[in-house]
Amino acid sequence: MSGRKYVHGYTEREAERLSDQGETLAGLLHDDTRYPAGSRVLEAGCGTGAQTVILARNSPDARITSVDISQISLDAASKRVKAEGITNVTFEEGDIFDLHYGPGSFDHIFLCFVLEHLAEPRGALERLRPLLREGGTITVIEGDHGSAYFHPDSTHARRAIGCLVDLQREMGGNALIGRELYPLVAGAGYRDVYVSPRMVYADASRPDLARGFTELTFTAMVEGVGDEAVNRGMMSREDWERGIRDLYRTSRSDGVFCYTFFKATGRR
């Protein structure tokens, strides 16, 4: 598959969710991603720019080229970056599988929440590798919905998450891809591959995470595929709504929610 199919859609609400996610997870996922002045950085699959803003803030003197296959997303990303006063990012429409840049055009390549939407994630990594200079680095970040666990437990909530996993699989993606990052990146020919798990843990002592991640990021993401899941008979409307209520329930004072992201780095 060239390009990607986005299971969550391109609605304004989804753009808001991505922004909430980016800001909530900025420290956990991105604090150790900083590029030197003058570095040529390719952000492959920038979406609506939620990660772009964080990349640019962390590396204000790097030269970032952010590409995406969706012009709608690029327009939103450009608006977001301009609103932040960021000037070191250039946006271009492009397909990860067919980019026009020459060999060795970049010092670093960055992908975040992209491979999960691709039918051929290893192929995408293989296509990107020649664009790196010798010794250049790649950073890949993905989640894994199978890593979610919570209290109080709920079979309805687990089934709702399972509906999202199933829908994404049917669209050619993989919502469980986080656990596969090491073999994917190493198998695509990168060396010195290292994967670090990044756990989000939210309880009443971490109200910002309970709100920003449990509610506004994860549960909102699952909730967004509700109509599709119900219309296709994957769950009844009553069971679906109970599952979503139970997920929101985990953000209350006696609730707990855990989820793990995986961050891989490698070198050409």
Q: Which CATH architecture is the domain 12-267 placed in?
A: 3-Layer(aba) Sandwich (3.40)
**Is the confidence at residue 2, as pLDDT, over 60?**
no
Least confident of 7-11, 53-57, 91-95: 7-11
Please report the pLDDT score of residue 1 as a whole number: 34
Please report the pLDDT score of residue 15 as a whole number: 55
Residue 138: strand pairing partners: 109, 266
User: What is the distance between the alpha carbons of residues 231 and 212, in angstroms, rounded to a whole number?
Assistant: 29
Please report the pLDDT score of residue 180 as a whole number: 98
25, 213 Cβ separation under 8 angstroms: yes
Please report the pLDDT score of residue 200 as a whole number: 96
Please report the pLDDT score of residue 16 as a whole number: 65
Query: Of 119, 19, 120, 127, nearest to 67 (Cα)?
Result: 127
Q: What is the pLDDT of residues 106-164, one digit of tens each?
A: 999 999 999 999 999 999 999 999 999 999 999 999 999 999 999 999 999 999 999 99
Please report the pLDDT score of residue 10 as a whole number: 52
**Is the confidence at residue 177, as pLDDT, over 70?**
yes
Q: What is the pLDDT of residues 179-210, one digit of tens each?
A: 999 999 999 999 999 999 999 999 999 999 99
Please report the pLDDT score of residue 80 as a whole number: 95
**Is the confidence at residue 30, as pLDDT, over 90?**
yes
Across the chain, what does the average pLDDT equal? 93
What pTM does this model have? Answer: 0.91
Q: What does the DSSP assignment read for the chain?
A: --S---TT-S-HHHHHHHHHHHHHHHHHHHTT----TT-EEEEE--TTSHHHHHHHHH-TTSEEEEEES-HHHHHHHHHHHHHTT--SEEEEE--GGG--PPTT-EEEEEEES-GGG-S-HHHHHHHHGGGEEEEEEEEEEEE-GGG-EEES--HHHHHHHHHHHHHHHHTT--TTGGGGHHHHHHHTT-EEEEEEEEEEEE-TT-HHHIIIIIIIIIIHHHHTTHHHHHHTTSS-HHHHHHHHHHHHHTTSTT-EEEEEEEEEEEE-
**CA 26 to each of CA 20, 48, 150, 163: distance values in angstroms, whole numbers, following the listed order:** 10, 15, 22, 27
Using a pLDDT cut of 90, give the percent of the chain over it.
90
Please report the pLDDT score of residue 23 as a whole number: 76
Q: What is the pLDDT of residues 5-26, one digit of tens each?
A: 555 555 565 656 555 555 788 8
Query: Which residue ranges make up each domain of the chain?
Result: 12-267
| Site of tokens 């994630």 | 121
